[in-house]
Structure 1
């Protein structure tokens, strides 16, 4: 009997044809389907974040048909990897894939989704590389893997494609392109299987809502979290912190929470997580003093444990094989490690009244973070923990405050898919103002929150422009840990800065209701223009070009214009920042009438308008028939259940309705139904005059509304 030669057998097996396999889809909520390819790993983004889906809210969005051709979605296993393929149509545009800083359009991009610091290029290595994308055709896709994923987002063309690119002759065809048409998104998952989710729309915004709601809905901050925050110099003492808080008060600048940087600890990099006895001899008294002044305290930390920490030895069985800055890395995927680690934070910080944390350096950089060859006692791969460590620390630290029945609002350096509901805002060390706005836009496509923080500036104008954008972001923050910058550091713009800070405080009612929409309905409070009804992007600029100078750039391409310097804030506001040196800028308005936020004048409808710069304003426009609730300018956010008087601004010439969210602004009692949505309504009375009404408060429910004044901003001439 002839034996088949082993070498030939191996060659035969290696060259076996690979057949695409249709994924079997299971509806798990209205408009949401789950599918698996191969044998998925037990640890993924969802198992790390453990979100609680808002099924009732998903039911309200209603049922929709599966938005893609199921037969065109395939998953195959080969060489220990899983290869996914999702179809694309001609002209279809994609958004998402996490926190990108330079690009909004993602079709045609090649990405390695890898948690890392942002290195200046949109290549997938970023602080929150969420493997979720949404299409302008009104659907979304989430690849639920805690691995580094290779994504070809419409950048590659298969030989057997039913809709291949046209072969062109570069020698004679002026329309030849170095980026030929691709009809699919392809993802390589380095595992023998993976779970994927598809979200219907019918609009892109509704697909994002479904993604956010499946992942627990957006975080609802305490009211004080929407006020103003200052992060003080890293080596400030207890007395210096109090002096700075007092100076804010004396100068009339608002302040709701102060951030302490590494110097609050006895040792840092690596950390003891214990108060320095010299700089902070009585931390409980400090917290109490600040609370009496209406200010909360936020503490910087990264998770890496110093050998001098009191609990270092207790965690010995739960450390990874490698250190970070000579600090041990606790395997926080393990419940036993979590209990030992976090009980120290509860005792030394949370129980004395600290309001939250800034969680640093859970993202990268490869030179100091644990390497991919590291091992952990849980048995998880180093890359799995890198992809999810930001999720773990967010979830576990937030739980400390939940156990105290008080909300927190903090900062984090890394997140990922599944972390929608965590009360943390992303930040980093990158400092490009324009790119910060692009990141703010992209955050809304991926269930993230991002702040374009202000630190220091070369000129007074730059300082003012940066400050204006933090006022219209999830966290109004000066991060002065190194620069020591104050709002009044540049005297020539001090009054303009103060006016913007007070405007932030006036807008807390609007921001709070916007975040309630995020929590209960999944609508991002800050989002790109492509999600706005009636918005149409500019047409491609020119035809594809080919440089005839092969020595310079033989693959030069025309780029379709992206709108990455204006965005929506809350349900009604279009924000179009100025940058230092700008004397004017263009703003692309969606269809419908739009009005100036500050004076109510009509500015345009579905057109490009030109706006002249002025130091005292950031351009903001309001859609037709909008109501904007404001409170009086004040130095601190309202306290628990505190009543405030409201001014309700009406814009446009149409009747309007607005749902105002109300709860105690502090606790988690709203999760047990202790909240209300009150209807604000403006319509004309029998004499043709505008009249505003507020629905009555519900008996036994929170009521923080005092007197109400109506202001009609766009009265007919």
Structure 2
């Protein structure tokens, strides 16, 4: 890896807050003279060449796009991306290409990446009077079958640190980026089991009844999650147990722990006036509110300490070992609920920069509270250099196809993503979604708005039990994959192009992924009765039947989820 500094970088950048940053400079082959930098009245611009047929991937959790060559990406934290424009729960200014390198820009601004645009070349005249009759064909006609330029614009900044990584495959490059970030996260074995989040209005007695249902029916469940109803006030949060729904909260926690459940609590960081934290955090928060609650400045050590000390004393010491950190991303295109970019914080950080760092700083604060306690929790915003945090991204969106693309994409950027299951439109829809969740890094059933277990209305308890038992069988393999992630930076879930970068057939596959060292997973949605699956060169067997399957493209028709095992070398 190699660091190149242009101009004078800003103060509040992701490396400033990366506690385990591991920069180890090495020789590189990339010709750095090809990278140009200029200052403009809009910020700064970096340009570098992209070769014809060089493909671009990454930029964080991209639910709407995969193969980014020829597109414009503005990396803005946003909870409701509606198009392939770069908006994301977890934008990361890191990209990789099929030409053996990756680049990380150390910024928390809403940077824009023009991924393969043509420069002024003083072209000779080339007569062409061809006419097209559709918009699609018209714009396809303008695609550039030539070398182009990656132009990166960072607003406001007067300088930037650029980090360049090289490797034989995209997996090699991403592993180095993750090692630079502090390595992959280490997770407890129980965190790789089954998560079930209870109905938001559940009482303490109903939570215990739900837990008893799992144990009595021998349905695997390792983590019980409580949604906003456990708070006495939840929008914003009090961080105190509700006296009506949970007058017996100590009994509930004791019952769950006694029956081998781990406990995860929902919250967000906006502090209600009824909270014991309110007055002591008032001077350590921004000058705008969210839902009439304080926005803590987690840049400051004092704010983090007060927030984490409270959680340790009142929740973690009680027996809580996980948290779902909600709404630390930004308002979406539908509802304007978050703080404005013009907010002012005691630390001096800008609002747009804080949006892009909020999730990371929130995770750090909660890890300080947890101390030596192991966790595998959830967060709704993460960004650059996040691989060492044992948190998994989730969403309020619910398109199954987008969720699968999220699984495929997350591995490019040091992120983890759960294609969580809530309800299903049909039995097939529910089962297809659960199949995807079982073969992902976190198997999460989020029944926060379901008064009963969501499979009961479809009468498919036995099918659900079989799938969740399959998840139990996967835990040893997943644990090894995470140990490898922690040690080497190789993500536990990867797009096919990451391992098989030399195989052009993998370049556009955004609905298959590699899980661990040997599994290839090809989920199906409810609308599919069959699908095409690509198996790269090698020896493969069907996960379910053990039968040998030839590499290459194959057509699959099944009610199950297509999974294949690669032979060990």
TM-score range (shorter-chain normalised) is over 0.9
Q: Residue 152 of structure 2: which of 181, 184, 187 is its match? A: 187
| SS of equivalent residue, structure 1 residue 115 | coil
The alignment partner of 2:520 has SS state of: strand
Asked whether 1:120 is paired with 2:82, we answer yes
Equivalence map 1:244-259=2 (5 Å):
244-259=210-225
Offset at 1:511? 0.5
| Counterpart check, 1:381 vs 2:350 | yes
Q: Which residue in 1 is equivalent to 2:445?
A: 478
Asked if structure 1 preserves the Cα contact closer than 8 Å seen for 2:200 and 2:449, the reply is yes
Which residue of 119, 143, 153 corresponds with 1:158?
Answer: 119
State the structure with more CA Rg: 1
From the superposition, tell whether residues 249 and 170 of structure 1 become closer, same or farther in structure 2 (CA, over 3 Å).
farther
Q: How far does residue 78 in structure 1 lie from its aligned partner after superposition?
A: 2.1
1:467 positional shift: 0.4
User: Does 2:569 correspond to 1:603?
Assistant: no
Is 1:345 matched up with 2:311?
A: yes
State the distance in 2 between where 1:585 and 1:166 align. Answer: 46
Q: State how far apart, in whole Å, the 2-side matches of 1:390 and 1:167 are.
A: 52
- Cross-structure match for 2:46: 84
Match of 2:558 in 1: 613
Cα contact 1:97–1:129 (8 A) shared by 2:
yes
The 8 Å contact of residues 423 and 454 in structure 2, kept in 1 or not, is answered as no
The residue matched to 2:419 in structure 1 has which SS?
coil
The CA RMSD over aligned residues, in Å, is 2.0
Are 1:391 and 2:326 counterparts? no
Partner of 1:512: 479
- CA deviations over 1:316-364 (Å, ceiling 9, x no partner): 2112111111111111101111122221111111111101100000111
Q: Superposed, which structure 2 residues align to 1:234-253 within 5 Å?
A: 234-253=200-219
Deviation at 1:406, TM superposition (A): 2.0
2:565 pairs with one of 622, 625, 634: 622
Which stretches in structure 1 are left out of the alignment for 5+ residues?
Answer: 1-31, 540-560, 626-655, 657-717
Query: Corresponding residue for 2:527?
Result: 581
Please give the alpha-carbon distance, in whole angstroms, between the structure 1 residues aligned to 2:184 and 2:446.
24
Partner of 2:129: 171
- Map Cα deviations across residues 167-221 of structure 1 (whole Å, 9 max, x no partner): 6544149998323345221111121111110001022110100000100111121
Mapped to 1, the partners of 2:175 and 2:396 lie a distance apart of 30
Is the 1:73–1:86 Cα contact (8 Å) retained in structure 2? Answer: yes
Would you say the 8 A contact 1:51–1:419 is kept in 2? no
Shift of 1:85: 1.1
| Aligned 8 A contact 1:487 1:497 in 2 | no
* 1:547 matched residue in structure 2: none
Distance across 2 between alignment mates of 1:373 and 1:463: 42
Give the Cα separation in 2 of the matches to 1:245 and 1:369.
Answer: 35
Secondary structure of the residue aligned to 1:152 is strand
The 3-state SS of whatever aligns with 1:357 is: strand
Q: Does 1:428 align with 2:395?
A: yes
Q: Deviations over 1:564-601 (max 9, x none)?
A: 11110101000011211322111011001211112211
Contact 1:442 / 1:527 at 8 angstroms: preserved in 2? yes
SS of residue in 2 equivalent to 1:621: strand
Contact 2:184–2:388, Cα closer than 8 Å, also in 1? yes
Distance 1:52 1:44 in 2: 13
Deviation readout 1:429-484 (Å, 9 max, x if unpaired): 11111111111111000110001111001110111000000001111011100123
Partner of 1:355: 321
Cα distance change, pair 378–621 in 1 and its aligned pair in 2 (3 A): same
1:134 is matched with 96
Q: 3-state DSSP class of the match of 2:225?
A: strand
- CA distance, structure 2, for counterparts of residue 328 and residue 166 of structure 1: 60
Contact 1:49/1:392, CA 8 A, preserved across alignment:
no
Q: Does the Cα contact within 8 Å between 1:49 and 1:391 map onto a contact in 2?
A: no
Contact 2:89 2:381 in 1 (8 A): yes
Structure 1 pair 574–508 and aligned structure 2 pair: CA distance change class (3 A): same
Partner of 2:110: 148
User: Using the alignment, how far apart are the partners of 2:92 and 2:127 within structure 1?
Assistant: 39
Contact map agreement 1:588 1:609 (CA 8 A) in 2? yes
**TM-score normalised to structure 2 length:** 0.94
Q: Which has the higher helix share?
A: 2
| SS of residue in 1 equivalent to 2:287 | strand
1:449 and 1:474 in contact (8 A); partners too: yes
CA distance in 2, matches of 1:219, 1:294: 24
- The reply on whether 1:414 has 2:359 as its aligned counterpart is no
Cα contact 1:54–1:217 (8 A) shared by 2:
no
Kindly state the Cα deviation for residue 165 of structure 1 after the two structures are TM-superposed.
7.8
What is the DSSP-based 3-state SS (H/G/I as helix, E as strand, rest coil) of the residue aligned with 1:445?
Answer: helix
Once the 2 structures are TM-superposed, how far is the Cα of residue 535 of structure 1 from its aligned partner?
Answer: 6.7
Any idea what the Cα deviations from partners look like across 1:54-101, whole Å, max 9, x if unmatched? 86xx9xxxx6x5242211111111215111112211210011011111
Which stretch of structure 1 is more off in the superposition, 208-217 or 99-108? 99-108
Unmatched 5+ stretches in structure 2: none
